[in-house]
Amino acid sequence: MAVSQLVGARVKRREDPRLVTGHGHFTDDFTRVGVAHVAFVRSPHPHALIKKIEVTEASKADGVVAVYTARDFKGQLAGTLPALPVFVAVKKYVPEHFPIAEREACYQGEIVAVVVAETKAQAADGANMVDVDYEPLPAVINVEKAAQPNSDKVHIDAADNICWDLPFAGNEVSEAAFKSAEVVVKERIHQQRLTPTPMETRGVLADYEAYDKRLTMWMSTQNPHFIRLFVSGAMGLQESLVRVISADVGGGFGSKISPYPEDYLVPAVSRLLGRPVKWIESRTESVQNAYAGRGQYYDVEVAAKKDGTLLGMRVTQYLDVGAYCAPFSAFQTVACLMAGGAYKWQGISSRTVGVLTNKVPTDPYRGAGRPEATHLVERMVDLVAREIGMDPVAIRRKNFIQPKDFPFTQNFGLVVDSGDYEKTLNRALELAGYDQLRKQQVEGRKHGKYMGIGLSTWIELCGFGPSSATAPATGGIALSEAAQVRVMPTGSVIVYTGTHAHGQGHETTFSQIVADTLGVPMESVDLRHGDTGEGTAMGYGTAGSRSLSVGGVAISRASGKVVDKARKLAAHILEAAEEDVVFDQGKFHVKGSPDKSKTFGEVAFAAYGAGLPEGMEQGLEAVAYFDPPNLVWPFGAHVCVVEVDPETGAVEIQKYVAVDDCGNIINPTIVEGQIHGGVTQGIGQALFEEMIYDEESGQLKTGTLIDYSVPTANEIPNLITDNTVTPSPTNELGVKGIGEAGTIAASAAVINAISDALTPLGIKHVDMPASPNRLWAQIKEARK
């Protein structure tokens, strides 16, 4: 084994030269000779019957090649969009979801017709000429009302709007805790709907070759192998003849995990027409139709003692499923399993209710379920502390799961692999100057300053995941990860991974691991992903902060297999016993005589030549699949300091400190970048972002980036970051995930700070987004 040189180093990203010069390969940068362009006709109504679709005029328009409606796809696409049974194995009512509506449109933006033309502009013109006769129906928008038995229905034929209603643990589990409670605190906590907003929207370029029955798709996805699986199934194609290429992807944040209606319709159009076709989503289409995040509210009660001991929790999640159950929608129920956070509890009762509405479906968005869990538990702990007059730091310290407790089996039977929560908290408090801040707060309050300090001591489960847990959750496919390492005769290396990167820098991080393991320069390692036409048979994409802790370990193991074979061959060449051969700094030598050595490259060349040891095949390559024995459990402590202007409701973030622990770190620069971006998305949710629907008409009122407020450089403070290192015992690299950590932590820290700032006004809880108008109204009400 070579001495580690690259792992842990601040290696500059290999992706960047092409990206900073405008030479990346995003979906819209690809084309095919003879390509036609697709525009979709979408329902302007959140709920309507489709009485008639008149396509004559559109069909005759300049450049229009074809106009299709639902019935044209009936023979092309089988079945309904998949809704994986993740977590909620028994669903009460899962509406059929064909990729294009025929009789009833159930959300604004649902596709009702497809126009294909020679140019993008002609396709858009043609789409405007399709005349659809709708009979509008009542739109079911409000989740609480939708859950009532007398509600209008999201689908006219449905008995009610309940997609699932499942208790994970009944009230009996927390009964003793609540009976012995000295304090009970209740709150309703909202998680507004968000649109993920990757800067590159989605898009599909599809080319079906009829004579070979071969389909190639270029698209912007986090999950090319899953897309291949689903699309080949729906189109009745052999999986091996479908190739999905997802080259550079301009951000995903969860919104590019699941297959979408367009991912089926565009290749089906290519097959119908016999020519390549392309569709690039507009931003307006994205805001309206990309699977939304969050969209939940929680009714929570916490039982505690007056000394701050947390006893029990009862939590019900109401989840706005949208009009259909998106493929990974039910994953968001993991919030119920994570509601206990970093603390010890006697008992937690939890129940999830999935409620259908006439809105675009929700699906995982960065953190998915874990930001919600963190937000609710961190808010509730603060509310208990406030109730009993305890410092938020002290109540956390009192209830933390302790280092000696790991591996710790939490209330829902999940095994938390490792942690040292107090260590990260202490470091964060030190960096923030907590004691001094509290003194400043006391002083400031004398002068009418509304300054607040918020904590978020978050934990996370990620790195999906063990086959025993994930295969049942997907309907049979385990979320292990695959890697292939191929060494060329002259010693350069191609590595294939089934994970995917869309900003995470895997070409760099993973190459660091391979270069160290093989003892070769990083420049000679080419890391490839995002093309199902090469590499391993299956891959599981990137989601749930899994790439390093599952995919990285697979890469490390495949590299290890290559070294094992090379060592055997080196022993043969050096005429020594295998156990006497040392591999160091990229060279094999016999123990005690480092002068007589063979480089890794020399051994690679020999592997393709003559005179191999008896029974050894030519070549130097290996495949590994890693099935992790558990999930991994990152954690951290964030401190946010705000000042609220009581006259305008404006919030200024004065300081933000993030101390996170993701186990061993391969590349500290990339880890910091992930925290920066993650925290910013959490701040975005806390202060700015919300998909707002008109409750009467059901129209989305925040349908563009004018109305939907993504934070700009001017609204985000400099972030102070640091790490503690508690290696994961779950894998030999000791790594955890970091992609979602910042988002999981941040909203709670910000809202706790604002709630703390407004304490003198008697305000205990603030909903998100804590926009100036909301805070101004709340402050005005409190001052009455």
Stretch that binds other proteins, among 199-207, 453-461, 644-652, 692-700 (CB under 8 A): 199-207
580: tokens are: 């006497």
Regarding 652 and contact with other proteins (CB under 8 A), the answer is: no
Smallest distance from other proteins to CB 365, Å: 12
Cα gap 488→473, rounded to integer Å: 39
Q: Which residue among 358, 681, 724, 747 contacts other proteins (CB under 8 A)?
A: 681
The smaller minimum CB distance to other proteins, of residues 544 and 677, is found at: 677
Smallest distance from other proteins to CB 501, Å: 9
Contact 376, 334 (CB under 8 A): no
Cα gap 286→458, rounded to integer Å: 31
DSSP 100-128: S-SSEE-STT-EEEEEEESSHHHHHHHHH
Contact 681, 709 (CB under 8 A): no
Q: Which residue among 108, 161, 201, 418 contacts other proteins (CB under 8 A)?
A: 201
Smallest distance from other proteins to CB 55, Å: 24
Cα gap 698→484, rounded to integer Å: 49
Regarding 522 and contact with other proteins (CB under 8 A), the answer is: no
Regarding 651 and contact with other proteins (CB under 8 A), the answer is: no
Regarding 502 and contact with other proteins (CB under 8 A), the answer is: yes
Element (H, E) at 581: strand 581-584
* Count of other CB atoms within 10 angstroms of residue 582: 17
Regarding 704 and contact with other proteins (CB under 8 A), the answer is: yes
| Beta carbons within 8 Å of 479's beta carbon, 6+ residues apart | 464, 465, 467, 470, 540, 546, 550
Regarding 389 and contact with other proteins (CB under 8 A), the answer is: no
Q: Which residue among 24, 85, 521, 560 contacts other proteins (CB under 8 A)?
A: 24
Stretch that binds other proteins, among 18-26, 292-300, 613-621, 688-696 (CB under 8 A): 18-26
Smallest distance from other proteins to CB 673, Å: 5
Contact 511, 545 (CB under 8 A): no
Regarding 673 and contact with other proteins (CB under 8 A), the answer is: yes
Regarding 670 and contact with other proteins (CB under 8 A), the answer is: yes
Regarding 198 and contact with other proteins (CB under 8 A), the answer is: yes
Residue type, 402: Q
Regarding 692 and contact with other proteins (CB under 8 A), the answer is: no
Give the residue from 360, 318, 190, 204 showing the smallest Cα distance to 703.
360
Q: How far is CA 518 from CA 10, 550, 555, 581, 618, in A?
A: 19, 19, 11, 15, 18
Q: Which residue among 217, 249, 277, 555 contacts other proteins (CB under 8 A)?
A: 249
Stretch that binds other proteins, among 81-89, 261-269, 500-508, 521-529 (CB under 8 A): 500-508
Regarding 669 and contact with other proteins (CB under 8 A), the answer is: yes
Regarding 23 and contact with other proteins (CB under 8 A), the answer is: yes
Give the residue from 116, 261, 129 showing the smallest Cα distance to 202.
261
Smallest distance from other proteins to CB 10, Å: 9
Regarding 214 and contact with other proteins (CB under 8 A), the answer is: no
Smallest distance from other proteins to CB 213, Å: 31
List, as own/partner pairs, every contact residues 564-567 make where C-beta atoms lie below 8 angstroms and the sequence separation is at least 24, other chains included. Answer: 565/607, 565/616, 565/620, 565/622, 566/487, 566/600, 566/603, 566/604, 566/607, 566/620
The DSSP output letter for 298 is E
Regarding 33 and contact with other proteins (CB under 8 A), the answer is: no
Regarding 654 and contact with other proteins (CB under 8 A), the answer is: no
Give the residue from 709, 726, 730, 604 showing the smallest Cα distance to 664.
726
Smallest distance from other proteins to CB 708, Å: 9
Instruction: Provide the mask over 712-731, with x wherever binding to other proteins is found by CB under 8 A and - wherever it is not.
Output: xxx-x-xx------------
Considering CB under 8 A, how many residues would be counted as binding other proteins? Answer: 55
| Beta carbons within 8 Å of 579's beta carbon, 6+ residues apart | none
Smallest distance from other proteins to CB 212, Å: 29
Q: Could you give the 3-state DSSP secondary structure of residue 179?
A: helix
Regarding 504 and contact with other proteins (CB under 8 A), the answer is: yes
Q: Which residue among 243, 344, 567, 676 contacts other proteins (CB under 8 A)?
A: 676
Stretch that binds other proteins, among 24-32, 140-148, 541-549, 761-769 (CB under 8 A): 24-32
The smaller minimum CB distance to other proteins, of residues 308 and 769, is found at: 769
Cα gap 61→112, rounded to integer Å: 19
Cα gap 23→51, rounded to integer Å: 47
Site for other proteins in 728-757 (CB under 8 A): 742
| Beta carbons within 8 Å of 341's beta carbon, 6+ residues apart | 373, 374, 377, 378, 381, 457, 458, 459
The smaller minimum CB distance to other proteins, of residues 201 and 497, is found at: 201
56: tokens are: 């004559």
* Residue 615 CA from chain centroid, whole number: 46
Q: Could you give the 3-state DSSP secondary structure of residue 180?
A: coil
Regarding 680 and contact with other proteins (CB under 8 A), the answer is: yes
Cα gap 166→337, rounded to integer Å: 12
* Count of other CB atoms within 10 angstroms of residue 272: 19
Regarding 3 and contact with other proteins (CB under 8 A), the answer is: no
The smaller minimum CB distance to other proteins, of residues 150 and 718, is found at: 718
Residue type, 239: E
| Beta carbons within 8 Å of 137's beta carbon, 6+ residues apart | 45, 47, 48, 49, 104, 152, 156
Cα gap 229→210, rounded to integer Å: 19
Cα gap 256→26, rounded to integer Å: 14
Q: Which residue among 99, 340, 503, 698 contacts other proteins (CB under 8 A)?
A: 503
164: tokens are: 């699932």
Regarding 560 and contact with other proteins (CB under 8 A), the answer is: no
Regarding 200 and contact with other proteins (CB under 8 A), the answer is: yes
The smaller minimum CB distance to other proteins, of residues 69 and 504, is found at: 504
Instruction: Provide the mask over 149-188, with x wherever binding to other proteins is found by CB under 8 A and - wherever it is not.
Output: ----------------------------------------
b/e 30-60 (16+ beta carbons within 10 angstroms → b): bebeebbbbbbbbbebbbbebeebebeebee
The smaller minimum CB distance to other proteins, of residues 50 and 432, is found at: 432
Smallest distance from other proteins to CB 252, Å: 8
Residue type, 578: E
Regarding 76 and contact with other proteins (CB under 8 A), the answer is: no
Smallest distance from other proteins to CB 686, Å: 13
Regarding 505 and contact with other proteins (CB under 8 A), the answer is: yes
Q: What angle do CA 474, 477, 480 make, to 5 degrees?
A: 110
Smallest distance from other proteins to CB 286, Å: 9
Instruction: Provide the mask over 264-303, with x wherever binding to other proteins is found by CB under 8 A and - wherever it is not.
Output: ----------------x-xxx-------------------
Smallest distance from other proteins to CB 517, Å: 24
Smallest distance from other proteins to CB 118, Å: 13
Smallest distance from other proteins to CB 12, Å: 6
Stretch that binds other proteins, among 243-251, 412-420, 584-592, 604-612 (CB under 8 A): 243-251
Smallest distance from other proteins to CB 329, Å: 22
Give the residue from 662, 638, 461 showing the smallest Cα distance to 544.
461
Q: Which residue among 1, 17, 159, 732 contacts other proteins (CB under 8 A)?
A: 17
Cα gap 679→639, rounded to integer Å: 11
- The length of the chain, given as a count of residues: 784
Binding interface with other proteins (CB under 8 A): 12-13, 15-17, 19-24, 26, 28-29, 120-121, 197-201, 248-251, 253, 280, 282-284, 502-505, 669-670, 672-673, 676-681, 704-706, 710, 712-714, 716, 718-719, 742
